[in-house]
């Protein structure tokens, strides 16, 4: 009977092993929740605020963190119109600090502008977005490239280092 139980547990561990080979058995055992292919909705007063699609989620209670793989996050305005869409290969949410870390092919498409980078950090408490990687921002048909991004959630105050740009701007118009 003992051999049967050990065999069953071994089979379950290998069959339920994450699609991501870089997830260790220790991480799986420390998780309080693991989910493949999920959709999460957030609403307030009968209005959808955002929808998150992900191929994989792993929640760690002792760290107050959630890890995601292959995400798409749709954010809606007060009229329930799509205001921005965020894509990333992976993301980590620190629930205690209210910070999101996105890594790999980060793309943000919004009404205020589009942003592309390999990594991004969004401090939701301060409403700040930053990245130490190369970034590309497209706003009003103009393209700005640089490193070490610091901006607000609406891309209204953008600070970059090693900057180059493409586009034409009238002298009286303040694009950035």
**Residue 154: Cβ within 10 Å count:** 13
pLDDT of residue 64: 83
pLDDT of residue 22: 60
For residue 174, pLDDT beyond 60: no
95 or 6: which leads in pLDDT:
95
Host H or E run for residue 42: strand 33-44
C-alpha to C-alpha distance for 12 and 148, rounded to whole angstroms: 45
38 or 88: which leads in pLDDT:
88
Kindly state the DSSP code that residue 18 receives in the 8-state scheme. Answer: -
C-alpha to C-alpha distance for 14 and 62, rounded to whole angstroms: 24
For residue 4, pLDDT beyond 70: no
The confidence band for 17, taking pLDDT boundaries of 50, 70 and 90, is: very low
Taken in order of first residue, the domains within the chain and their CATH numbers are: 25-166 (2.60.450.10)
**φ, ψ for residue 132, nearest 5 deg:** -95, -5
104 or 127: which leads in pLDDT:
104
Query: What does the block give as tokens for 117?
Result: 């980078």
For residue 81, pLDDT beyond 70: yes
Q: Interior CA angle at 76 toward 129 and 121, to 5°?
A: 15
Lowest-pLDDT range, 31-35, 64-68, 113-117?
31-35
């Amino acid at each position: 009977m003992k051999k049967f139980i050990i065999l069953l547990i071994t089979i379950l561990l290998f069959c339920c092993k994450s699609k991501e080979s870089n997830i260790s058995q220790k991480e799986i055992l420390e998780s309080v929740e693991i989910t493949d292919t999920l959709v999460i909705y957030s609403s307030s007063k009968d209005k959808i605020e955002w929808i998150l699609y992900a191929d994989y989620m792993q929640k760690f209670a002792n760290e107050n963190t959630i890890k995601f793989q292959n995400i798409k996050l749709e954010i809606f305005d007060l009229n329930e119109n799509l205001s921005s869409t965020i894509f990333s290969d992976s993301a980590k949410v620190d629930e205690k600090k209210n910070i999101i870390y996105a890594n790999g092919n980060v793309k943000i498409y919004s009404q205020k502008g589009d942003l592309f980078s390999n990594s991004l950090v969004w401090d939701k408490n301060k409403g700040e977005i930053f990245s130490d990687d190369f970034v590309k921002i497209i706003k009003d048909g103009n393209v700005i490239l640089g490193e070490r991004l610091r901006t607000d959630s609406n891309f209204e105050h953008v600070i970059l280092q090693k900057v180059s740009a493409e586009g034409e701007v009238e002298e009286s118009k303040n694009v950035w």
